[in-house]
Amino acid sequence: MKKDIKIAVIGQGYVGLPLALAFAQHYPVIGFDIKASRVDELTRGIDLTKEVDESQLSVSVVTYTTSGGVKGYKPSTDISDIADANVYIITVPTPINQFNAPDLSPLKASSKLVGSVLKKEDIVIYESTVYPGCTEEECIPVLEQASQLVFNRDFYAGYSPERINPGDKVNTLETIVKVTSGSTPEVADYIDELYRTIIKAGTHKAPSLKVAEAAKVIENAQRDVNISFVNELALIFDRLGIDTRDVLEAAGTKFNFLKYKPGLVGGHCISVDPYYLAHKAIQVGYYPDVILSGRRVNDEIPVFIASKVVKLMIQKGIDVSRSRVLLLGMAFKENCPDTRNTKVAKIYEELISYGLTVDVYDPWVNKAEVMEEYGIEVMTTKEELSHPKDVTCDHRFGKNTQCYNAVLLLTAHGEFKELDVFDYLVEQGVVYDAKAVLDRGIVDSRL
pLDDT at 254: 96
Q: What letter would DSSP give residue 7?
A: E
Q: Which residues touch 40 (CB under 8 Å, ≥6 apart)?
A: none
> Looking at per-residue confidence, does 403 or 290 come out higher?
290
pLDDT at 79: 97
pLDDT band at 392 (very low <50, low <70, confident <90, very high): low
Average pLDDT, the chain: 93
Fold of 7-211: Rossmann fold (3.40.50)
pLDDT band at 67 (very low <50, low <70, confident <90, very high): very low
Instruction: Give tens-digit pLDDT for 73-131.
Output: 999 999 999 999 999 999 999 999 999 999 999 999 999 999 999 999 999 999 999 99
- Residue 311 to residue 313: CA distance in whole angstroms: 5
Instruction: Give tens-digit pLDDT for 159-182.
Output: 999 998 888 888 899 999 999 999
Q: Count Cβ atoms within 10 A of the Cβ of residue 21 and give its class: 0-12 exposed, 13-18 middle, 19 or more buried.
A: buried
pTM above 0.75, yes or no: yes
pLDDT band at 391 (very low <50, low <70, confident <90, very high): low
- Residue 435 to residue 447: CA distance in whole angstroms: 7
Phi, psi values for residue 31, rounded to 5°: -95, 100
Please check whether the two domains, 7-211 and 228-446, share a CATH topology. Answer: yes
- Residue 204 to residue 178: CA distance in whole angstroms: 6
Fold of 228-446: Rossmann fold (3.40.50)
Catalytic pick from 134, 269, 336, 403? 269
Domain boundaries along the sequence of the chain: 7-211, 228-446
pLDDT band at 399 (very low <50, low <70, confident <90, very high): very low
> Looking at per-residue confidence, does 90 or 51 come out higher?
90
> Looking at per-residue confidence, does 57 or 93 come out higher?
93
Contact status, residue 267 vs residue 332, Cβ threshold 8 Å: yes
Whether residue 25 is predicted with pLDDT greater than 70 in this model: the reply is yes
Told to judge if 134 belongs to the known catalytic residues of this protein, a careful annotator would answer no
Which residues, in sequence order, are bridge partners of residue 151?
155
- Extended strands (E) in 225-335: 324-328
Sign, CA dihedral 98-101-104-106, equals: positive
Contact status, residue 159 vs residue 136, Cβ threshold 8 Å: no
Helices first, then strands: H and E counts in the chain = 15, 14
Q: Beta strand 87-90 with 123-126: parallel, antiparallel or unpaired?
A: parallel
Q: What's the rounded mean pLDDT across residues 273-295?
A: 97
